[in-house]
C-alpha cells in the first residue's frame, strides 16, 4: 500500500516536471513580453507602496499596523498574486475553453486525475519574479520590524502561506468549475481576483462590516493577514489552526465539487 | 446618411452585446476596487487620535466620490487593444479596412453598446450603495448630471484615444497588448482610483495633473459627485474641462498620423 502510493506520487511528480518543462520552453520564446511583465510588476509594487505611503505619511497606521509590518502583508499579497499569475490563471482559465470546445473529453480520458491535469498542466514564468519579490519583501520587512526572525516564525508563516495558496486555489477552482453549467460566467474568476485585492492591506484596516465579510465570506484575512501575523509572531494557536482548517476544508470542497460537476458534464456539441 | 450608418452600427453592436449580459454583469462587478478603497479611506479618516486623516472631504463626500469612481470606470472602460489585436491576428482586419468606414468607428460603437448594457447593473449597484450608505445620498441637480455625463464622455474619449494608440502599434508588433499592462499601472495609481487626489502631497499632485490619468477617473468622478472644486482642491471645473479638451486635441492628430503610418505598413496576417 505504502509502496503503491509512493509510486503514484513519483508518477505525478514526473508528469509535473514534463508539463512545466515544456511550458517554460514555449514561454521563453517571448523575451520582450517577459521584460514588459517585469516592468509592470515593478510598477504595480511601486504603486502599492505609494498608496500605503499616502496613509502613513499622514500618521495613519492602517488597522494599527506599523509601516514595516504592513509591508509584510503586502509581501504576502505579492507572493500570492505571483502564484496566481504563474499557476492559477494559466490553468484554471482554460477550463471554460475545454468545456466550450469539447476538449474536456480528452482530458477525462487521460490516465491521470482530471483535476490534477486541469490545475497544473502549464505554468507561466511571468509570475515567478513576483513570487520571489513577495517572499523577499516579507522577510526583509519582518526583519526590520523585529530585528531578528525566529526560525519557528518563518516556518509557521511558510506553512500558513501554503495554506493560503491552497485556499485561494480551491476558491478559484470551484468558480472555474461552474463553467460546466454556465459557460458564460467564467468571468466570475475576475470578480474573485478583484475582490481579493483587498488582501493588500491588513484586514483590521477595514470598517467592521467589510472586516466580517473578508473573514467569514471571502477568506481574505486568511490569505494575507494571517501569514503576516505568523511571521511577526502575533498569531494565536487558534488562528493558525483555523487557517489550516479553512485550507483543508476548501480543498476537500473543491474535490467534491469537481466530482459532482462531472456528473453533469455532457460534452460539447450535444 | 451618416446618421443612419451610425444608428445601424450601434444597433448591431447593441444586439451583439445584449447576448453577453451575464458576462458584462460580471465585468461590472469586477470593478469593486473603489468600494474596497472607500472602506480603507473612511476607516482611516475616522481613526487615529489627533484627527486622523484630513482629506478636506466629509465622509458623505468621500463615499460619493468613490461611488462615482466606480460609475465613471464602468462608462469609460476601454478594451479596444484586445479586440484589435485579435482582429489583426485572425485576419478580420483586412475586410474592415476595405469598407468605407474607419475601423475604429466600429470599436467606438461596440464600446458604447457595451456601456448601454452595463447601465442597469450600475444603477442596481448604485442603489444598493445608497441603501447601505444613506448619508452619502444627495439628489443631483440637472446641471450637475449634464456636466457629469459630459465629463464621463470626455474621459471615455481620452481613454479610447490612448488605448487606440497602443492598439495601432499592433501594425508593428503582434503583441501590443502587453504594452497595455504598462499603461494600466499609472491608470490605477495616478488617476484617483485608489486614492483621491486630495490625499496626494502637492508635488505629486502637480505631477499627476500633468498626465492624462487624473482626467480619466478622478476629475469626472468629482464632477459627478458634485464635490467642491477650485480653490484648494485638486481640480477646477473650467480648468478640468479645458485640460480634457487639450488632451483630446493632442491625442487625436497623433492617432490619425500613427494609424496612417501603420496601415501603410500593414500586410495582412496569415498571408
> What does the pLDDT look like over B235-265, one tens digit per residue?
889 999 999 999 999 999 999 999 999 888 8
**pLDDT of the residue at B85:** 84
What confidence tier does B205 reach under pLDDT thresholds 50, 70, 90? very high
Task: Say whether residue A258 is in contact with chain B using an 8 A CB cutoff.
Answer: no
The whole-chain average pLDDT of chain B stands at 87
* C-alpha atoms less than 13 angstroms from C-alpha of A174 in its C-beta half-sphere: 15
| Among the partner residues B23, B43, B184, nearest to A184 by beta-carbon distance | B23
| Among the partner residues B20, B185, B194, nearest to A43 by beta-carbon distance | B185
Q: In chain A, whose CA is at the least distance from the CA of B205?
A: A54
**pLDDT of the residue at B51:** 54
**pLDDT of the residue at A268:** 60
- Which of A58, A66, A220, A221 would you mutate first to test chain B, the one with the most B CBs within 10 A? A58
| Among the partner residues A32, A44, A205, nearest to B40 by beta-carbon distance | A205
List all residues 6 or more positions away from B208 whose beta carbon is below 8 Å from its beta carbon: B190, B197, B200, B214
**pLDDT of the residue at B161:** 95
C-alpha to C-alpha distance for B207 and A192, rounded to whole angstroms: 33
What confidence tier does B49 reach under pLDDT thresholds 50, 70, 90? very low
What confidence tier does B1 reach under pLDDT thresholds 50, 70, 90? low
Q: Give the Å distances, CA to CA, from B115 to A163, B8, B64, B71, B187.
A: 40, 17, 21, 11, 20
Chain B residues close to A182, C-beta within 8 Å: 22
Chain A residues close to B185, C-beta within 8 Å: 40, 43-44, 47
C-alpha to C-alpha distance for B97 and A137, rounded to whole angstroms: 49
Chain B residues close to A191, C-beta within 8 Å: 26, 29-30, 32
C-alpha to C-alpha distance for A198 and B40, rounded to whole angstroms: 9
What confidence tier does B56 reach under pLDDT thresholds 50, 70, 90? confident
What confidence tier does B88 reach under pLDDT thresholds 50, 70, 90? confident
- The minimum CA-CA distance between B143 and chain A, rounded to whole Å, is 33
Nearest to A91, CA basis, from A37, A8, A21, A20? A20
Task: Say whether residue A218 is in contact with chain B using an 8 A CB cutoff.
Answer: no
Residues B129/B67, Cβ–Cβ less than 8 Å = yes
Cβ distance B42 to A184 less than 8 Å, yes or no, reads no
- The minimum CA-CA distance between A176 and chain B, rounded to whole Å, is 14
| CB neighbours of residue A228 within 10 Å | 28
C-alpha to C-alpha distance for B267 and A188, rounded to whole angstroms: 38
* pLDDT tens by residue, chain A, 270 residues: 677 788 888 888 888 888 888 887 777 667 777 788 889 999 999 999 999 999 998 888 898 899 999 999 999 999 999 999 899 988 888 888 888 888 888 888 888 888 898 888 888 888 899 999 999 999 999 999 998 889 999 999 999 999 999 999 999 999 888 888 877 666 788 888 888 899 999 999 999 999 999 988 889 999 999 999 999 999 999 999 999 999 999 999 999 999 998 888 877 654
Task: Say whether residue A195 is in contact with chain B using an 8 A CB cutoff.
Answer: yes
| Residue whose C-alpha cell reads 504563474 in the numeric block | A86
Residues A124/A23, Cβ–Cβ less than 8 Å = yes
Q: Give the Å distances, CA to CA, from A191 to A29, A253, B59.
A: 31, 20, 27
Q: In chain A, positions 52-111, which contact chain B (CB-CB < 8 Å)? A: 54-55, 57-63
| Among the partner residues B50, B52, B194, nearest to A51 by beta-carbon distance | B194
| Among the partner residues A51, A62, A194, nearest to B31 by beta-carbon distance | A194
Q: In chain A, whose CA is at the least distance from the CA of B36?
A: A198
ipTM at complex level: 0.87
- The minimum CA-CA distance between A48 and chain B, rounded to whole Å, is 8
Residue B174 has pLDDT above 80, yes or no: no
A178 grid coordinates: 461552474
Chain A residues close to B53, C-beta within 8 Å: 55, 58, 60
Provide DSSP, A169-183. Answer: HHHHHHHHHGGGT-G
Cβ distance B27 to A190 less than 8 Å, yes or no, reads yes
List all residues 6 or more positions away from B27 whose beta carbon is below 8 Å from its beta carbon: A187, A190, B77, B118
Q: In chain B, whose CA is at the least distance from the CA of A199?
A: B36
> What does the pLDDT look like over B132-150, one tens digit per residue?
888 888 887 888 889 999 9
Contact pairs from chain A to chain B, CB under 8 Å: 93
Cβ distance A197 to B33 less than 8 Å, yes or no, reads yes
C-alpha to C-alpha distance for B4 and B113, rounded to whole angstroms: 16
C-alpha to C-alpha distance for A160 and A174, rounded to whole angstroms: 21
| CB neighbours of residue B23 within 10 Å | 18
φ/ψ (deg, to 5) at B240: -65, -45
* C-alpha atoms less than 13 angstroms from C-alpha of B186 in its C-beta half-sphere: 17
- The minimum CA-CA distance between B181 and chain A, rounded to whole Å, is 6
Task: Say whether residue B48 is in contact with chain A using an 8 A CB cutoff.
Answer: yes
| CB neighbours of residue A108 within 10 Å | 14
C-alpha to C-alpha distance for A122 and A112, rounded to whole angstroms: 15
C-alpha to C-alpha distance for A209 and B40, rounded to whole angstroms: 12
Residues A184/B25, Cβ–Cβ less than 8 Å = no
Amino acid at each position: 500500500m505504502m509502496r503503491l502510493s509512493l509510486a503514484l506520487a513519483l508518477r505525478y511528480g514526473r508528469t509535473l516536471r514534463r508539463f512545466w518543462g515544456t511550458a517554460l520552453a514555449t514561454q521563453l520564446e517571448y523575451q520582450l513580453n517577459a521584460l514588459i511583465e517585469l516592468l509592470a510588476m515593478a510598477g504595480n509594487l511601486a504603486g502599492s507602496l505609494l498608496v500605503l505611503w499616502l496613509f502613513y505619511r499622514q500618521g495613519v497606521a492602517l488597522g494599527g499596523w506599523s509601516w514595516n509590518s504592513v509591508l509584510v502583508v503586502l509581501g504576502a499579497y505579492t507572493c500570492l498574486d505571483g502564484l496566481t499569475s504563474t499557476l492559477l490563471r494559466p490553468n484554471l482559465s482554460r477550463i471554460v475553453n475545454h468545456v466550450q470546445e469539447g476538449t474536456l473529453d480528452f482530458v477525462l480520458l487521460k490516465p491521470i486525475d482530471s483535476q490534477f491535469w486541469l490545475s497544473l498542466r502549464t505554468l507561466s514564468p511571468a509570475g515567478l519574479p513576483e513570487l520571489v519579490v513577495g517572499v523577499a519583501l516579507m522577510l526583509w520587512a519582518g526583519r526590520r520590524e523585529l530585528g531578528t526572525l525566529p526560525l519557528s516564525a518563518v516556518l509557521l508563516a511558510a506553512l500558513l502561506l501554503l495554506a493560503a495558496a491552497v485556499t485561494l486555489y480551491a476558491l478559484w477552482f470551484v468558480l472555474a468549475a461552474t463553467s460546466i453549467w454556465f459557460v458564460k460566467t467564467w468571468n466570475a474568476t475576475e470578480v474573485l481576483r478583484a475582490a481579493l485585492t483587498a488582501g493588500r492591506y491588513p484586514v483590521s484596516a477595514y470598517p467592521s462590516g467589510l472586516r466580517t465579510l473578508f473573514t467569514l465570506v471571502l477568506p481574505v484575512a486568511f490569505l494575507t493577514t494571517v501569514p503576516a501575523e505568523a511571521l511577526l509572531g502575533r498569531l494565536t494557536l487558534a488562528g493558525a489552526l483555523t487557517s489550516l482548517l479553512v485550507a483543508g476544508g476548501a480543498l476537500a470542497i473543491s474535490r467534491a465539487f469537481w466530482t459532482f460537476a462531472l456528473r453533469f458534464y455532457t460534452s460539447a456539441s450535444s | 446618411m451618416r446618421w443612419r450608418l451610425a444608428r445601424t452600427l450601434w444597433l448591431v453592436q447593441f444586439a451583439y452585446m445584449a447576448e453577453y449580459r451575464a458576462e458584462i454583469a460580471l465585468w461590472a462587478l469586477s470593478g469593486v476596487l473603489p468600494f474596497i478603497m472607500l472602506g480603507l479611506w473612511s476607516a482611516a479618516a475616522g481613526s487615529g487620535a489627533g484627527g486622523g486623516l484630513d482629506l478636506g472631504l466629509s465622509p458623505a463626500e468621500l463615499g460619493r466620490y468613490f461611488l462615482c469612481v466606480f460609475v465613471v470606470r464602468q462608462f469609460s472602460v476601454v478594451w479596444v487593444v484586445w479586440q484589435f489585436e485579435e482582429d489583426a491576428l485572425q485576419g478580420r482586419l483586412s475586410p474592415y479596412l476595405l469598407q468605407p468606414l474607419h475601423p475604429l468607428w466600429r470599436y467606438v460603437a461596440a464600446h458604447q453598446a457595451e456601456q448601454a448594457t452595463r447601465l442597469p447593473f450600475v444603477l442596481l449597484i448604485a442603489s444598493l450603495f445608497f441603501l447601505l450608505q444613506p448619508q452619502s445620498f444627495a439628489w443631483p441637480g440637472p446641471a450637475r448630471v449634464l456636466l457629469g455625463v459630459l465629463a464621463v464622455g470626455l474621459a471615455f474619449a481620452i481613454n479610447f484615444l490612448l488605448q487606440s494608440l497602443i492598439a495601432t502599434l499592433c501594425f508593428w508588433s503582434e503583441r501590443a497588448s502587453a504594452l497595455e499592462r504598462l499603461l494600466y499601472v499609472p491608470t490605477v495609481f495616478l488617476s484617483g482610483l485608489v486614492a483621491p487626489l486630495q490625499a496626494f502631497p502637492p508635488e505629486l499632485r502637480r505631477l499627476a495633473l500633468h498626465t492624462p490619468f487624473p482626467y480619466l477617473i478622478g476629475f469626472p468622478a468629482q464632477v459627478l459627485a458634485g464635490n467642491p472644486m477650485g480653490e484648494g482642491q485638486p481640480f477646477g471645473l473650467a480648468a478640468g474641462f479645458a485640460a480634457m479638451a487639450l488632451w483630446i486635441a493632442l491625442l487625436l492628430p497623433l492617432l490619425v498620423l500613427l494609424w496612417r503610418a501603420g496601415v501603410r505598413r500593414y500586410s495582412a496576417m496569415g498571408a
